[in-house]
Structure 1
Amino acid sequence: MTLSPLAQGAALFRPHPDVDLLLRDVLESARARAHVFGTEYELIWSEIARSVRGGKRFRSAIVLGTHEALGGSAQRAAVEVAAGFELLHTAFLIHDDLIDHDWVRRGKPNLAATMRAVSMATGSEEGPAQQWSEAAAVLAGDLALTRAHRLIGGVDVPRPQVEQLLDLLDETLLVSAGGELADTAYGLGLHVPDLDEALLVCESKTAMYSFRAPLRAGAILAGASLAEQMELDHVGRLLGRAFQLVDDLLGVFAPEDRIGKSNISDLREGKHTALVLRAQQLPVWDRIAPDFGRPDLDRETADAMRAALAGSPAPHLVEDHVRQDLAEVEVRCVTADLPDAMVEFVAGITGHVRTALDDVVEHVRASAR
């Protein structure tokens, strides 16, 4: 069959009102209960809610879209699981910012930065305020993770499906944490990965909880066969890897107002992305290496590094890898025994990732000028 180029892509990332309402109710209830422990604890829940509101909601959209495309009828359960994945995503972001010592998320102060500012406004010294804010971020991530587990594990569906969802959540946490640990080791220089290891991190972190697990969760709720679930898992692995490779390119070449964070932090931290690993095999690396991973990397030097990378084959090699992954997704969808509606839904996700890739290619060209 012929794949629709964007299919449902235009509507894919619109927040679902039922998911938003459930998240609001869950988090407001927790905030109200937290009030007895003081305004700071109440603020943590308000900040978790703010973090949730800022997301694109595509993980919940994948759960709901997959459930619908496979003919599922457990609509309320799908909404609850979808909301659980948004809370899972929020928990990972809060902990990820803490691990990376980042204080900005989506162009605004993140949870830890807000808590630090509140502490300093009440007279705390900078050192204790930072330590307290980091503790608050650890706890906030744990709280969001627990709420996600409760939503996903508490759905009103037959017990075998609940057990499958809980097994999936356990697998998601196990794989994602392993990917985060490896990524942190690479960033600290404890081990320099090769390209296969870097791609495995993409599959373990972003792909697992953002694509593979939401696709499988929607399929479980729809009563899909194990074969269908495993096919969607493979599709999700390819989509997630492609998505992360695009995100890594955006993190270097896109303007900061486009990505909502620093576009020199990856270079400053010495992050071994596929882009960097490709560049290390090319003559351009002689121009990059002296400043790569410099904690005091300034913007002028970073701009020169960016221009050198943009003028090299490195970003185009990463682009080729993304296009190959997306092409494999399309081939698998055509040859796999999946319903037409599911094929069309996956085509919408593929089209969105391809559009993001085309966008970053333009940023690379601009950086090379």
Structure 2
Amino acid sequence: MKAPTTDQALRRLLDEGRSRAQAVGPDHLRLWDALARGAEGGKRFRPALVVAAHDALDGTRRAAAVQVGAAVELLHTALVVHDDVIDGDEVRRGRPNVNGTFRARALAEGATSAGADTLGRTAGILAGDLALTAAVRAVATCGAPGAVTARLLDLLDEALHTTAAGELADVQLSLGLQDATPEESLAMAERKTSAYSFALPLQAGAVLAGADEETLRGLGEAGRVVGTSFQLVDDLLGVFGDPARTGKSSTSDLREAKQTPLLVHARSTPEWPLIQPLVGCDLGASQLAEVRSLLTRSGSRAFVEELAASHHAAAVLVVEGLGLPVEVLGPLASLHAALGDRGAAA
């Protein structure tokens, strides 16, 4: 019998959750359905990394790898939903997210703006919690031997701790109480994304394939480095991207005064006195165009692009050093097309 795809496995997990939600009541079902919509779309490279690592190491637990891949994608959904609550965003991938959906519904039913905000945040927190629990359960029930499953849960726990530390640092630095050093900003980028989006899926696939500790460490390092590259590209798209294409706001990072490597570098340039007044406030179209121009003229955009490319190249070297095909990182190839896509900065 042919093993299911990761998309099919994710759909099964979402359908199982929907059945549980339906048994609770209609309001809870609406919450789960909003969460399920949030899981739609995306490049699905996280589950692809799990399966790619498993297959490259000649693993024989394909069905378990597919389920763990789906679990990692559900984990991503949980963290995205929570991230939107933290950032106060109501749109994701070009449509209302969980908190945006519930806020709009509350307003339509006559709630005050403050009450609608509270309901939206509450829905986002609860939906993210439900997705996180479902992801852990999916790993725990993937069908691998007990010792393998325990190792997978250890990896998941480590990734969550690292990601939480990165998210907290991100918000803490955005308070503006101190200027982040380039090293601190890069470490924050690494922790926020690398641990759960790259190191975790690569190492999970390797654990399911029975890889040795040296290979696990190497894939963890490759994931850390390429994940930093991904976050750097994501930071660029968070300012220069077209929301209709990226599905994310092009002003949120600037509004929240995120101390990304892009802005940390800009702070060291002569253009910073012109950029600084445009950070930490809502921007109109003309102001966004101005800050984009300044970040390009200052060399900050080029600096981050080069930094992202060098991290990606370093990850390739690590994978090659392990004797694994570069195709293990194949699902990430589309990322770096964005580096040369100057049309995104229009």
| TM-score between the two structures when normalised by the length of structure 2 | 0.94
Instruction: Report the Cα distance in structure 2 between the residues aligned to 1:69 and 1:355, rounded to whole angstroms.
Output: 24
Cα pair 2:45 2:332 within 8 Å, conserved: no
1:316 aligns with 2:298: no
Q: Equivalent residue for 1:299?
A: 285
CA drift of 1:286 comes to 1.9
User: How many angstroms does 1:363 deviate by?
Assistant: 4.1
Deviates more, 1:301-310 or 1:106-115: 301-310
Question: What CA RMSD, in Å, does the superposition of the two structures yield over aligned residues?
Answer: 1.8
Q: Determine the structure 2 residue equivalent to 1:70.
A: 57
Asked if the contact 2:162/2:192 (under 8 Å) is kept, the reply is yes
Read off the aligned partner of 2:220 and give its amino acid letter. D
Deviation at 1:330, TM superposition (A): 2.7
In the alignment, what sits opposite 2:146?
159
**Residue 192 of structure 2 corresponds to residue 205 of structure 1:** yes
Contact 2:219 2:319 in 1 (8 A): no
Kept in 2, the 8 Å contact 1:264–1:302? The answer is yes
Note the C-alpha offset of 1:333.
2.9
Aligned partner of 1:40 among 9, 19, 27: 27
Residues 183, 201 of structure 1: 8 Å contact kept? yes
Give how far 1:164 is off. Answer: 0.7
Match of 2:93 in 1: 106
Are positions 1:325 and 2:325 aligned together? no
Partner of 1:356 in structure 2? 338
Distance in 2, matches of 1:320 and 1:37, equals 51
The one-letter amino acid paired with 1:311 is R
1: CA distance between counterparts of 2:271 and 2:4? 49
Task: Summarize the Cα distance change of 1:176–1:323 in structure 2 as closer, same or farther, 3 Å threshold.
Answer: same
Give the paired residue count: 344
Between 1 and 2, higher relative CO (CA 8 Å, sep ≥ 6) is seen in 1
1:237 and 1:330 map into 2 onto residues whose CA distance is 12
1:173 corresponds to which residue?
160
Distance 2:263 2:56 in 1: 38
- Counterpart selection for 1:56 from 34, 43, 68: 43
Q: Pick from 203, 217, 229: which aligns with 2:216?
A: 229
Find 1:277's aligned residue among 248, 261, 264: 264
Letter aligned with residue 320 of structure 1:
E
Partner of 1:80: 67
Amino acid at match of 1:354: H
Closer, same or farther in 2 for the Cα pair 1:166/1:270, shift >3 Å?
A: same
Instruction: State TM-score, norm by structure 1.
Output: 0.88
Matching residue's letter, 1:330: V
TM-superposed CA distance for 1:140, in Å, is 0.6
Shift of 1:347: 4.9
Residue of structure 2 in register with 1:5 after alignment: none
Q: 5+ unaligned residues in a row in structure 2: which ranges? A: none
CA-CA distance at 1:249 after TM superposition: 1.0
Picking from 243, 253, 277, the partner of 1:256 is 243
Distance in 2 (CA, whole Å) between partners of 1:40 and 1:60 is 30
Distance 1:325 1:253, change over 3 A: same
In the other structure, the counterpart of 1:120 is 107
